[in-house]
Amino acid sequence: MAEQWGTFITGGIGLIGVLAGIPVGRWQVRHQARVEHEQWLRGQRQEAHLALLDVWVTGVKEFQEMVDRDQVSVEHHLVETHPGNGWEASEDRIWEHTETISKPVRNALERVALLGPEIVDTACSQLAVALTGLTQATRLKAGDPTWPDLAACRGSWDQAEAARTAFLTACRKATRTAPEPRRQRS
């Protein structure tokens, strides 16, 4: 009978081990999934940050080129040779061109904002405000012989550079923080 008790105890210990292993296994699977998701999200964020920076630099450069002396001369020539109201047509071209420049930047901003984290979301908000400032400063006095307002444009360029610097700082903090396996997130 003693041998049967040994077999029974061994079987009971095995059954307890199996039952205890189920929640431990589930925890490991959830934990691994969380870590893999964090790594994937981190990679997506890095790609989105780089894409936004590329589009941002291109957009700011295009805004600056729009009010470059040579481009302004071309715009004034188009006004003079336009049949009808040349200034109205000029205003339409300027508004259209600023919209064309802004659209890819807004799309990249939205992608970054979707991926977070909060510190980068805040920096994206600053970039969005700066983008609006660039657009408005470039459009200021559109349809008027005194276009462009270079003082407003320079101010918007400074704001854009400050927002870009803040975005870079936020990205550095977000990217350099590695996922922590034990950190629980909601």
Closest to 157 in 3D by CA, of 48, 50, 62, 53: 62
**Which ranges of the chain does DSSP label H, i.e. alpha helix?**
2-66, 69-81, 86-115, 118-139, 150-176
Block residue for tokens 């893999």 = 36
Mean pLDDT, 10 residues at a time, the chain of 186 residues: 70 71 73 82 91 97 94 85 86 94 96 91 96 96 90 96 96 78 52
Distance separating alpha carbons of residues 122 and 175, to the nearest angstrom = 15
Burial class (CB in 10 A: 0-12, 13-18, 19+), 6: exposed
Hey, what are 36's tokens?
């893999």
State residue 16's pLDDT score. 75
**pTM for the whole structure:** 0.79
State residue 186's pLDDT score. 44
User: In sequence order, what are the residues at sequence separation of 6 or more whose Cβ sits closer than 8 angstroms to the Cβ of residue 41?
Assistant: 115
Hey, what are 8's tokens?
């029974």
State residue 183's pLDDT score. 53
177: DSSP letter? S
Q: How far apart are the first and last CA of the chain?
A: 54
State residue 28's pLDDT score. 75
Q: Residue 116, by phi and psi: left (phi above 0), alpha (psi -120 to 50) or beta?
A: left
Distance separating alpha carbons of residues 49 and 182, to the nearest angstrom = 26
How long is the chain? 186
Identity of the residue numbered 74: V
